[in-house]
């Protein structure tokens, strides 16, 4: 195809696909089949591959993601992103209206909207094109998440019609519909990953992922509620929202103009009931003064506008039967009682369990097996039990007796003075506690062995290959290769397999080997000594310089260290008094784990002195962080964006093309992982 012809076809396809996207995701009235849509998309992809310079940044093909960001650029908001004052009762709504009437003598019209429970986003459109998407951040500046937002199909990349302003911003809320949320969590549970507590956290976590292709798979949606700009077509909020809808933006229909307090209250009451029918979460209603002139007259307080307020719904409650109680042992050994309930529908999801927290709560509520209990859902996955309907209680019911022994290992439970939780003291023999220690050891801020996740650690543990952290370094290829395990997700009976084939096995061993470069302070943190977090680990290692010195430290010499108190000192002493711990540390030392501060000034060399680096993309043999660490340890400076002052751009796979272009333009030397390693070793 000739270039001219290709250009025409690309434009044709893009505009058709934008339109179908709108029909499907905004209006929910698709005009063509999914198959036809995919065919058109494939055709466009092919043309773009053939003629890369004809690819527009807002092409419909950009919705599948692909660009990997290292960290989000900070962008200043054109208009600060404020929050709203909250109210919880009718009388507070009445107060709000009375306050307004005192300032404004004419009639005031209000717009009532839903308060979407998601993540605030500001979308900037220039000449009809989405150019920028920024999160709230601190209200003054936020993260530039444009690449991720482009994967949300209900957000138009190109507006329709012609009467939109040249430049304007529209704000709204990115959220995760219930269905996507449930599917996502089922997957996470089956892979032994922690599920998200609620759709809002899931949306927020998804929006902040660095790999936009992964974001595309999260199926986010976005509802818009606030237009801002210098030349908007109307002088009031409502009409501009309706206009925005005509430009192809997803402004939901659930908005109403109200004149009186009664109308507002009716809107609130209606949606308090009807919200259970929605396929996404709302946590209240927002009431706004419609006229811009009146808004201006009312102005702002330091944090929020005086012309708008939110009304928060009370958490929904239902009653159901308590069938039984089981006890969960956490990574720290804390034992949590969990109520098994007769399944009941609450806030759109089926509830089967509720947390009972600890023995005190059980006796305070005096819940008994067979009781009818009130359950409330407060934004978390696990709802809570509020009380018991004692009037209908079984005459012969008896108070619950808290378990005395660990349900995982049978050890007698203890309760420390002043604490409400029961603990299993068998730190070294209780499976969830052992796994917890291993997971902490490999975690990102500790040894950063990211080729081993929770599920994989679980599998190695179950196969008896690792019992403590030193065992990791004895693992051999043949022991790992071929292992597999079927996990049953507990939300649905779907099964998933974790298996170690050649690539996974090699990666695991490579990751373990690479962790030998992790610095001593992080090694100390990784051991998981009670009260020794990252900061304390740094302080202790700075002071004692080596594991040997720390192990032989006395209580007095420990509390002498600035900011180390008796609680930490005791915990450290206790830890090293334990024969097992000393043996593990000995083995780690022999295996080549760093057990001392490397250089008195903290630098390995001055090799990179005066040189500035940007590290971007994904690397074969190192994590991005370890490359950065190596730069710093050798006197170099890490910065996040390329500029004329940058000396080297260390580029990995999936580095954004923009970064490369910028480096080329500013004459920054682009080096590969291998070249960097040579520089480091040479």
Which residues are tagged catalytic? 115
- Regarding 308 and contact with ligand IVH (CB under 6 A), the answer is yes
- Regarding 196 and contact with ligand IVH (CB under 6 A), the answer is no
Q: Using CB under 6 A, which of 96, 164, 168, 225 touches ligand IVH?
A: 225
Is the Cα dihedral 361, 364, 369, 371 positive or negative? negative
Provide the minimum distance between the beta carbon of 226 and ligand IVH in the complex, in angstroms, as a whole number. 5
Place of tokens 């076809």: 9
Provide the minimum distance between the beta carbon of 120 and ligand IVH in the complex, in angstroms, as a whole number. 3
- Regarding 207 and contact with ligand IVH (CB under 6 A), the answer is no
Q: Which stretch binds ligand IVH (CB under 6 A): 151-159, 302-310, 311-319, 559-567?
A: 302-310
Provide the minimum distance between the beta carbon of 279 and ligand IVH in the complex, in angstroms, as a whole number. 16
- Regarding 310 and contact with ligand IVH (CB under 6 A), the answer is yes
Place of tokens 């590290």: 615
Question: Closer CB to ligand IVH, residue 225 or residue 247?
Answer: 225
d(C-alpha 174, C-alpha 155), whole Å: 10
Nearest in space to 85 (alpha carbons), one of 369, 314, 312: 312
Question: Closer CB to ligand IVH, residue 120 or residue 564?
Answer: 120
Q: Using CB under 6 A, which of 84, 315, 409, 475 touches ligand IVH?
A: 84
Residue 189 tokens, joined: 């549970």
What track of x and - describes contact with ligand IVH for positions 93 through 132 (by CB under 6 A)?
Answer: --------------------x-xx---x------------
Question: Closer CB to ligand IVH, residue 83 or residue 420?
Answer: 83
Site for ligand IVH in 279-298 (CB under 6 A): 286
Question: Closer CB to ligand IVH, residue 86 or residue 319?
Answer: 86
Query: How many residues sit in the footprint of ligand IVH (CB under 6 A)?
Result: 14
Nearest in space to 321 (alpha carbons), one of 300, 340, 342: 342
Task: Give the burial class of 212: count Cβ atoms within 10 A of its Cβ; 0-12 exposed, 13-18 middle, 19 or more buried.
Answer: buried
DSSP 473: G
Q: Which stretch binds ligand IVH (CB under 6 A): 80-88, 316-324, 432-440, 582-590?
A: 80-88
Total residues found in the chain within this entry = 682
Provide the minimum distance between the beta carbon of 298 and ligand IVH in the complex, in angstroms, as a whole number. 11
Sequence-distant (6+) residues with CB within 8 A of 57 are none
Cα–Cα distances (Å) from 172 to 122, 126, 135, in that order, read 7, 17, 10
3-state secondary structure 95-132: HHHHHHHHHCCCCCCEEEEEEECCEEEEEEEECCEEEE
Question: Closer CB to ligand IVH, residue 82 or residue 603?
Answer: 82
Q: Using CB under 6 A, which of 30, 187, 233, 305 touches ligand IVH?
A: 305
**E strand or H helix at 225, and its extent?**
strand 221-228
Name the CA radius of gyration of the chain, rounded.
Answer: 29
Place of tokens 């698709």: 30
Q: Which stretch binds ligand IVH (CB under 6 A): 69-77, 94-102, 304-312, 472-480?
A: 304-312
Provide the minimum distance between the beta carbon of 498 and ligand IVH in the complex, in angstroms, as a whole number. 38
Cα–Cα distances (Å) from 180 to 186, 187, 493, in that order, read 10, 11, 18
Provide the minimum distance between the beta carbon of 224 and ligand IVH in the complex, in angstroms, as a whole number. 9
Task: Give the burial class of 372: count Cβ atoms within 10 A of its Cβ; 0-12 exposed, 13-18 middle, 19 or more buried.
Answer: middle
Q: Which stretch binds ligand IVH (CB under 6 A): 305-313, 531-539, 639-647, 671-679?
A: 305-313
First-last CA distance in the chain: 50
Question: Closer CB to ligand IVH, residue 84 or residue 256?
Answer: 84
* Interface residue list for ligand IVH (CB under 6 A): 82-84, 113, 115-116, 120, 173, 225-226, 286, 305, 308, 310
């Amino acid at each position: 195809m000739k270039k001219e012809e290709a250009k025409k076809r690309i434009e044709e396809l893009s505009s058709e696909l934008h339109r179908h996207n709108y029909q499907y995701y905004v209006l929910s009235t698709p005009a063509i089949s999914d198959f036809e849509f995919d065919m058109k998309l494939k055709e466009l992809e092919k043309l773009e591959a053939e003629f890369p310079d004809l690819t527009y940044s807002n092409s419909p093909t950009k919705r599948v993601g692909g660009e990997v960001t290292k960290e989000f650029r900070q962008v200043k908001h054109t208009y600060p992103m404020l929050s709203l004052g909250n109210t919880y009762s009718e009388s507070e709504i009445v107060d709000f209206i009375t306050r307004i009437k005192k300032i404004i003598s004419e009639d005031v019209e209000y717009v009532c909207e839903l308060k979407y429970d998601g993540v605030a986003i500001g979308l900037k459109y220039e000449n009809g094109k989405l150019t920028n998407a920024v999160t709230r951040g601190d209200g003054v500046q936020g993260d530039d998440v444009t690449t991720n937002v482009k994967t949300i199909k209900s957000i138009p990349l190109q507006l329709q019609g012609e009467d939109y302003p040249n430049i304007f911003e529209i704000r709204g809320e990115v959220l995760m519909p219930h269905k996507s949320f449930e599917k996502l969590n089922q997957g996470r549970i089956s892979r032994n990953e922690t599920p998200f507590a609620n759709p809002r956290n899931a949306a927020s976590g998804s929006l902040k992922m660095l790999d936009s292709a992964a974001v595309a798979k999260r199926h986010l949606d976005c509802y818009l509620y606030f237009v801002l700009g210098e030349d908007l077509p109307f002088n009031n909020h409502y009409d501009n929202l309706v206009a925005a809808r005509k430009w192809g933006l997803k402004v939901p229909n659930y908005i109403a103009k109200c004149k009186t307090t009664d109308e507002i209250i009716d809107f609130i009451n209606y949606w308090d009931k009807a919200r259970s029918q929605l396929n996404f979460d709302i946590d209240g209603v927002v009431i706004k003064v419609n006229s811009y002139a009146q808004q201006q007259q009312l102005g702002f307080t330091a944090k929020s506008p005086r012309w708008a307020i939110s009304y928060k719904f009370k958490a929904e409650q239902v009653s159901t039967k308590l069938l039984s109680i089981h006890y969960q042992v956490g990574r720290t050994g804390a034992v949590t009682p969990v109520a098994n309930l007769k399944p009941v529908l609450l806030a759109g999801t089926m509830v089967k369990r509720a947390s009972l927290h600890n023995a005190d709560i059980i006796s305070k509520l005096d819940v008994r097996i067979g009781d009818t209990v009130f359950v409330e859902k407060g934004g978390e996955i696990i709802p809570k039990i509020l009380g018991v309907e004692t009037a209908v209680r079984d005459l012969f019911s008896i108070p619950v007796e808290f378990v005395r022994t660990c349900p995982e290992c049978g050890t007698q439970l203890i309760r420390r003075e002043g604490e409400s939780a029961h603990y299993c003291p068998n730190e070294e023999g209780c499976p969830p506690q052992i796994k917890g220690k291993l997971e902490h050891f490999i975690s990102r801020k500790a040894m950063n062995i990211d080729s081993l996740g929770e599920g994989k650690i679980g599998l190695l543990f179950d196969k008896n290959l690792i019992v403590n952290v030193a065992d990791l370094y004895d693992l051999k290829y043949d022991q790992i290769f071929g292992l597999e395990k079927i996990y049953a997700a507990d939300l649905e009976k779907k099964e998933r397999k974790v298996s170690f084939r050649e690539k996974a096995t090699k990666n695991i061993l490579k990751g373990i080997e690479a962790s030998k470069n992790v610095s001593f302070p992080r090694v100390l943190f990784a051991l998981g000594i009670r009260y020794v977090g990252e900061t304390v680990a740094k302080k202790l290692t700075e002071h004692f310089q080596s594991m040997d010195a720390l192990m032989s430290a006395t209580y007095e010499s420990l509390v002498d260290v600035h900011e180390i108190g008796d609680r930490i000192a005791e915990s450290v002493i206790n830890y090293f008094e334990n024969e097992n711990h000393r043996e593990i540390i000995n083995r780690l030392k022999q295996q080549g784990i760093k057990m001392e501060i490397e250089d008195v000034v903290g630098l390995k060399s001055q090799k990179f002195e005066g040189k500035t680096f940007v590290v971007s993309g994904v690397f074969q043999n190192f994590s991005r962080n370890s490359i950065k660490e190596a730069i710093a340890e050798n006197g170099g400076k890490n910065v996040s964006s390329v500029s004329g002052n940058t000396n080297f751009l260390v580029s990995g796979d999936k580095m954004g093309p923009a970064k490369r272009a910028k480096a080329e333009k500013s004459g920054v030397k682009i080096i590969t992982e291998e070249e960097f390693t040579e520089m480091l070793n040479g």
